[in-house]
């Protein structure tokens, strides 16, 4: 994966796919701030609020770097692609696409309990100037899908046996490691590791975690959620950020 310059925005991004990048890392003299909303907001309204917030800080819309969404239930592959078209159109309207590439990292998952009626915004990240010398970044959410968005690329689709779930978790762990390397950062830099699954997360984490991540002092948070596509069972994202709650 290629780390792409994003001049004038305060961060670089790791090449991803049409709807999102694989992650972002702040440039020197910038830091990534992770903002959790006080309540879920419909995704378009929430993204507009995120834009207004960064602009109220004297920054521009181009400093927005990542979004975290919550959807009502896992999509079919076609439904997920359809939502991504709408989402990408908004980013294009805001002028955030860079030479055809989407720089914005994203996570999108479906809560098991009290799911929303529509896709909602849960959190967002932006970059701002800083005098601190620390490495901050966001690794985008990823599940056990190898390659483009296609059903045939889901690892052991439809199989939720213990062996299959472990394989899925190991694939995702490998993907997270690959993205960390692509961003040029280390597991020791992490502040938060998020795990998204409706299965036995503690057991899967204990079995699948790599020694490098096991040594990380990052907080591990399990969300009782499903990934956004039917038959994907395990997802993770990671970050090293300054935390802010509105």
Instruction: Flag the least confident range among 67-71, 96-100, 133-137, 208-212.
Output: 208-212
Tens of pLDDT, residues 142-197: 999 998 899 999 999 999 999 999 999 999 999 999 999 999 999 999 999 999 99
CATH number of the domain residue 41 falls in = 3.30.1330.40
Residue 235 has a pLDDT of: 97
- Side by side, which strands form the sheet with 120-129? 3-4, 11-14, 23-26, 137-143, 235-240, 192-197, 219-226, 105-111, 64-70, 120-129, 30-42, 242-245
Residue entry with tokens 């609020």: 49
Q: What is the pLDDT of the chain when averaged over all its residues?
A: 96
Per the structure, the complete domain to which residue 153 belongs is given by 3-245
Mean pLDDT of 24-38: 97
Residue 2 has a pLDDT of: 95
Q: Which of 213 and 188 is assigned the larger pLDDT? A: 188
Residue 1 has a pLDDT of: 82
| Number of domains, the chain | 1
Other C-beta atoms closer than 10 Å to the C-beta of 41 total 17
Tens of pLDDT, residues 47-101: 999 999 999 999 999 999 999 999 999 999 999 999 999 999 999 999 999 999 9
């Amino acid at each position: 994966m290629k780390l792409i310059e994003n001049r004038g925005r305060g961060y670089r991004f790791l090449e991803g796919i049409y709807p999102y990048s694989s992650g972002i890392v702040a440039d020197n003299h910038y830091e990534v701030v992770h903002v959790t909303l006080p309540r879920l907001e419909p995704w378009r309204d929430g993204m507009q609020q995120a834009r207004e917030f960064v602009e109220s800080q004297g920054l521009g819309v181009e400093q927005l770097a990542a979004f975290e969404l919550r959807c009502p239930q896992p999509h079919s592959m076609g439904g997920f692609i359809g939502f991504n078209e709408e989402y990408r159109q908004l980013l294009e309207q805001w002028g955030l696409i860079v030479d055809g590439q989407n720089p914005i990292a994203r996570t999108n998952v479906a809560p098991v309990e009290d799911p929303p009626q529509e896709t909602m915004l849960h959190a967002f990240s932006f970059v701002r100037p800083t005098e601190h010398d620390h490495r901050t970044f966001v690794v985008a959410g990823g599940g056990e899908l190898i390659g483009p968005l296609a059903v045939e690329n889901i690892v052991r689709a439809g199989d939720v046996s213990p062996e299959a779930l472990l394989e899925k978790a190991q694939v995702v762990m490998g993907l997270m490691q690959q993205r960390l390397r692509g961003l040029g950062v280390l597991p020791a830099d992490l502040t938060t590791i998020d795990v998204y699954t409706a299965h036995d997360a503690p057991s899967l984490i204990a079995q699948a975690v790599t020694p490098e991540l096991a040594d990380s002092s990052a907080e591990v948070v399990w969300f009782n959620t499903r990934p956004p596509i039917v038959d994907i069972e395990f997802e993770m994202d990671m970050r090293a950020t300054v935390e802010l709650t509105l």
